[in-house]
A = this chain, B = another copy of it.
Amino acid sequence: MKILVINPNTTASMTKKIATAARAVARPDTEIVAANSQNGPSSIQGFLDVATCIPGLLEEVALHPDVDAIIIACFDDTGVDAVRTLVSVPVLGIGEAAYHAASMIATKFSVITTLSRSVPGLENNLMRYGLVQKCARVRATDIPVLKLEEGDPATLFKIRSEIRETIEQDNAEAIVLGCAGMANLMAQLSKEFGLPVIDGVAAGITFAEALVNNNLSTSKIGAYSVG
Protein backbone atom coordinates (compact mmCIF):
# COMPACT_ATOMS: atom_id res chain seq x y z
CA MET A 1 0.00 0.00 0.00
CA LYS A 2 1.14 3.56 -0.67
CA ILE A 3 0.50 6.33 1.87
CA LEU A 4 1.02 9.99 1.10
CA VAL A 5 2.14 11.94 4.12
CA ILE A 6 1.98 15.58 3.30
CA ASN A 7 3.47 18.43 5.26
CA PRO A 8 1.31 21.48 4.50
CA ASN A 9 4.12 23.91 5.20
CA THR A 10 7.09 24.46 2.90
CA THR A 11 9.91 23.53 5.26
CA ALA A 12 11.73 20.56 3.72
CA SER A 13 13.73 19.69 6.86
CA MET A 14 10.47 19.12 8.69
CA THR A 15 9.18 16.94 5.86
CA LYS A 16 12.31 14.84 6.18
CA LYS A 17 11.77 14.37 9.90
CA ILE A 18 8.14 13.45 9.23
CA ALA A 19 9.17 10.91 6.59
CA THR A 20 11.57 9.29 9.02
CA ALA A 21 8.92 9.04 11.72
CA ALA A 22 6.46 7.62 9.20
CA ARG A 23 8.83 4.99 7.86
CA ALA A 24 9.83 3.93 11.38
CA VAL A 25 6.34 2.58 12.07
CA ALA A 26 5.08 1.67 8.60
CA ARG A 27 4.78 -1.98 7.59
CA PRO A 28 7.47 -3.33 5.27
CA ASP A 29 5.02 -3.43 2.38
CA THR A 30 3.82 0.14 2.92
CA GLU A 31 5.42 2.74 0.70
CA ILE A 32 5.65 6.17 2.33
CA VAL A 33 5.51 9.12 -0.05
CA ALA A 34 6.50 12.24 1.86
CA ALA A 35 5.86 15.63 0.32
CA ASN A 36 5.30 19.20 1.29
CA SER A 37 3.47 22.16 -0.16
CA GLN A 38 5.44 24.17 -2.70
CA ASN A 39 3.62 27.38 -1.84
CA GLY A 40 2.39 28.74 1.42
CA PRO A 41 3.69 29.46 4.92
CA SER A 42 6.95 27.91 6.12
CA SER A 43 5.27 26.99 9.40
CA ILE A 44 1.65 26.86 10.52
CA GLN A 45 1.09 28.90 13.63
CA GLY A 46 -2.39 30.22 14.23
CA PHE A 47 -5.55 30.64 12.17
CA LEU A 48 -4.06 32.68 9.32
CA ASP A 49 -1.44 30.08 8.47
CA VAL A 50 -4.08 27.37 8.82
CA ALA A 51 -6.06 29.10 6.06
CA THR A 52 -3.28 30.23 3.75
CA CYS A 53 -1.62 26.82 3.57
CA ILE A 54 -4.72 25.26 1.99
CA PRO A 55 -4.09 26.00 -1.72
CA GLY A 56 -0.54 24.64 -1.59
CA LEU A 57 -1.79 21.58 0.24
CA LEU A 58 -4.54 20.86 -2.28
CA GLU A 59 -2.13 21.33 -5.20
CA GLU A 60 0.30 18.86 -3.66
CA VAL A 61 -2.47 16.34 -3.01
CA ALA A 62 -3.48 16.56 -6.67
CA LEU A 63 0.06 15.60 -7.70
CA HIS A 64 -0.30 12.21 -5.99
CA PRO A 65 -3.50 10.67 -7.34
CA ASP A 66 -2.53 7.03 -6.93
CA VAL A 67 -2.18 6.66 -3.17
CA ASP A 68 -4.16 4.45 -0.78
CA ALA A 69 -4.40 6.92 2.09
CA ILE A 70 -3.34 10.45 2.95
CA ILE A 71 -1.92 11.83 6.18
CA ILE A 72 -1.98 15.60 6.69
CA ALA A 73 1.10 16.14 8.84
CA CYS A 74 0.07 19.34 10.57
CA PHE A 75 -1.14 19.09 14.13
CA ASP A 76 -3.97 21.59 13.44
CA ASP A 77 -5.50 19.03 11.06
CA THR A 78 -5.79 21.81 8.53
CA GLY A 79 -7.48 20.91 5.27
CA VAL A 80 -8.53 17.42 6.38
CA ASP A 81 -12.21 18.02 5.56
CA ALA A 82 -11.38 19.53 2.18
CA VAL A 83 -9.07 16.69 1.21
CA ARG A 84 -11.68 14.14 2.33
CA THR A 85 -14.10 15.76 -0.06
CA LEU A 86 -11.53 15.83 -2.87
CA VAL A 87 -10.36 12.22 -2.79
CA SER A 88 -11.90 8.84 -2.12
CA VAL A 89 -9.21 7.25 0.03
CA PRO A 90 -8.99 7.57 3.84
CA VAL A 91 -7.57 10.89 5.07
CA LEU A 92 -6.29 11.54 8.59
CA GLY A 93 -4.86 14.56 10.32
CA ILE A 94 -2.03 13.91 12.73
CA GLY A 95 -3.76 15.76 15.59
CA GLU A 96 -6.84 13.62 15.16
CA ALA A 97 -4.79 10.43 14.91
CA ALA A 98 -2.85 11.25 18.06
CA TYR A 99 -5.99 12.05 20.07
CA HIS A 100 -7.65 8.79 19.02
CA ALA A 101 -4.51 6.81 19.91
CA ALA A 102 -4.25 8.51 23.29
CA SER A 103 -7.92 7.75 23.99
CA MET A 104 -7.26 4.06 23.43
CA ILE A 105 -4.51 3.75 26.03
CA ALA A 106 -5.22 6.34 28.73
CA THR A 107 -8.22 7.86 30.48
CA LYS A 108 -6.72 11.33 30.25
CA PHE A 109 -3.98 12.92 28.15
CA SER A 110 -2.32 16.32 27.81
CA VAL A 111 -1.06 17.96 24.64
CA ILE A 112 2.25 19.82 24.49
CA THR A 113 2.37 22.17 21.53
CA THR A 114 4.31 25.16 20.23
CA LEU A 115 2.86 28.69 20.44
CA SER A 116 0.03 29.86 22.69
CA ARG A 117 -1.88 31.17 19.72
CA SER A 118 -2.27 27.65 18.38
CA VAL A 119 -4.00 26.41 21.54
CA PRO A 120 -7.56 27.64 20.78
CA GLY A 121 -7.53 25.99 17.35
CA LEU A 122 -6.46 22.68 18.88
CA GLU A 123 -9.15 23.00 21.55
CA ASN A 124 -11.73 23.60 18.81
CA ASN A 125 -10.63 20.41 17.08
CA LEU A 126 -10.78 18.39 20.29
CA MET A 127 -14.30 19.66 20.95
CA ARG A 128 -15.39 18.82 17.45
CA TYR A 129 -13.95 15.30 17.63
CA GLY A 130 -15.63 14.81 21.01
CA LEU A 131 -12.29 13.98 22.62
CA VAL A 132 -11.97 17.23 24.58
CA GLN A 133 -13.21 15.44 27.70
CA LYS A 134 -10.24 13.06 27.52
CA CYS A 135 -7.80 15.98 27.29
CA ALA A 136 -6.59 17.34 30.62
CA ARG A 137 -4.95 20.38 29.05
CA VAL A 138 -3.39 21.76 25.87
CA ARG A 139 -0.11 23.33 26.93
CA ALA A 140 2.01 25.75 24.91
CA THR A 141 5.79 25.72 25.23
CA ASP A 142 6.06 28.99 23.30
CA ILE A 143 8.66 27.36 21.06
CA PRO A 144 8.06 28.48 17.44
CA VAL A 145 7.64 25.56 15.03
CA LEU A 146 10.82 26.27 13.09
CA LYS A 147 12.86 26.55 16.28
CA LEU A 148 12.26 22.80 16.61
CA GLU A 149 14.33 22.30 13.45
CA GLU A 150 17.43 23.85 14.98
CA GLY A 151 18.18 21.10 17.47
CA ASP A 152 18.81 23.62 20.23
CA PRO A 153 19.14 21.79 23.59
CA ALA A 154 17.13 24.57 25.25
CA THR A 155 14.17 23.51 23.15
CA LEU A 156 14.18 19.95 24.38
CA PHE A 157 14.70 21.26 27.89
CA LYS A 158 11.50 23.31 27.64
CA ILE A 159 9.51 20.35 26.34
CA ARG A 160 10.83 18.17 29.13
CA SER A 161 9.95 20.66 31.83
CA GLU A 162 6.46 21.03 30.37
CA ILE A 163 6.00 17.24 30.48
CA ARG A 164 7.16 17.23 34.09
CA GLU A 165 4.56 19.87 34.99
CA THR A 166 1.91 17.94 33.11
CA ILE A 167 2.52 14.81 35.13
CA GLU A 168 2.49 16.73 38.40
CA GLN A 169 -0.46 19.03 37.75
CA ASP A 170 -2.82 17.55 35.13
CA ASN A 171 -3.19 13.90 36.17
CA ALA A 172 -2.56 13.12 32.53
CA GLU A 173 -1.73 9.48 31.87
CA ALA A 174 -0.28 10.07 28.39
CA ILE A 175 1.37 12.94 26.51
CA VAL A 176 0.51 13.96 22.96
CA LEU A 177 3.27 15.82 21.12
CA GLY A 178 1.43 18.67 19.47
CA CYS A 179 3.54 19.40 16.42
CA ALA A 180 4.86 17.34 13.49
CA GLY A 181 8.24 18.87 14.26
CA MET A 182 8.39 16.90 17.51
CA ALA A 183 7.95 13.54 15.73
CA ASN A 184 11.51 12.48 16.50
CA LEU A 185 11.13 12.83 20.28
CA MET A 186 8.49 10.20 20.92
CA ALA A 187 10.60 7.16 21.87
CA GLN A 188 13.12 9.05 23.96
CA LEU A 189 10.57 10.98 26.02
CA SER A 190 8.34 7.98 26.56
CA LYS A 191 11.23 6.04 28.01
CA GLU A 192 12.46 8.93 30.09
CA PHE A 193 9.12 9.76 31.70
CA GLY A 194 7.63 6.28 31.94
CA LEU A 195 4.34 7.03 30.26
CA PRO A 196 3.09 6.82 26.67
CA VAL A 197 4.25 9.73 24.51
CA ILE A 198 2.32 9.90 21.28
CA ASP A 199 3.41 11.32 17.95
CA GLY A 200 0.62 12.00 15.47
CA VAL A 201 2.68 11.12 12.41
CA ALA A 202 3.31 7.61 13.64
CA ALA A 203 -0.25 7.24 14.88
CA GLY A 204 -1.60 8.55 11.58
CA ILE A 205 0.42 6.16 9.41
CA THR A 206 -0.56 3.09 11.40
CA PHE A 207 -4.24 4.06 11.63
CA ALA A 208 -4.27 4.70 7.88
CA GLU A 209 -2.89 1.21 7.36
CA ALA A 210 -5.63 -0.05 9.66
CA LEU A 211 -8.42 1.69 7.75
CA VAL A 212 -7.09 0.49 4.40
CA ASN A 213 -6.85 -3.08 5.71
CA ASN A 214 -10.44 -2.77 6.91
CA ASN A 215 -11.36 -1.70 3.41
CA LEU A 216 -12.79 1.45 4.96
CA SER A 217 -12.70 4.83 3.25
CA THR A 218 -14.26 8.24 3.82
CA SER A 219 -18.02 8.15 3.48
CA LYS A 220 -19.23 9.73 0.30
CA ILE A 221 -22.78 10.38 1.39
CA GLY A 222 -23.32 13.55 3.40
CA ALA A 223 -20.58 15.95 4.44
CA TYR A 224 -17.87 14.68 2.12
CA SER A 225 -20.04 14.11 -0.94
CA VAL A 226 -19.56 16.06 -4.14
CA GLY A 227 -21.75 17.13 -7.00
Interface residues of A (CB under 8 A from B): 25, 27, 46-48, 50-52, 54-55, 58, 79, 81-82, 84-86, 90, 92, 96, 100-101, 103-108, 116-117, 119-121, 124, 127-134, 167, 171-174, 187, 190, 194-196, 198, 202-203, 206-207, 209-211, 213-226
Contacts and interface: CB of A to CB of B under 8 A. Distances in A.
Contacts of A194: 220-221
A216 B190 CA distance: 9
Does more than half of chain A's interface fall in helix, strand or loop, or is it mixed? helix
A25 B213 contact: yes
Nearest to A210: B206
A58 B51 CA distance: 9
B195 A219 contact: yes
Contacts of A121: 81, 223
Contacts of A104: 90, 92, 96, 100, 207, 211
Contact of A207 (B81, B106, B207): B207
A215 B202 CA distance: 10
Contacts of A215: 25, 187, 190
A58 B47 contact: no
Contacts of A134: 129-130
A198 B216 contact: yes
Name the residue among A187, A211, A220 with the largest chain B CB count within 10 angstroms: A211
Rank and list the top 3 A-B pairs by shortest CB-CB distance, nearest first. A206-B210, A51-B82, A47-B81
B213 A27 contact: yes
Contacts of A213: 25, 27, 206, 209
Name the residue among A51, A85, A213 with the largest chain B CB count within 10 angstroms: A51
Given A47-B81, A96-B104, A214 B203 contact: yes
A186 B207 CA distance: 19
Contacts of A216: 101, 105, 196, 198, 203
B103 A219 contact: no
A38 to B, nearest CB: 15
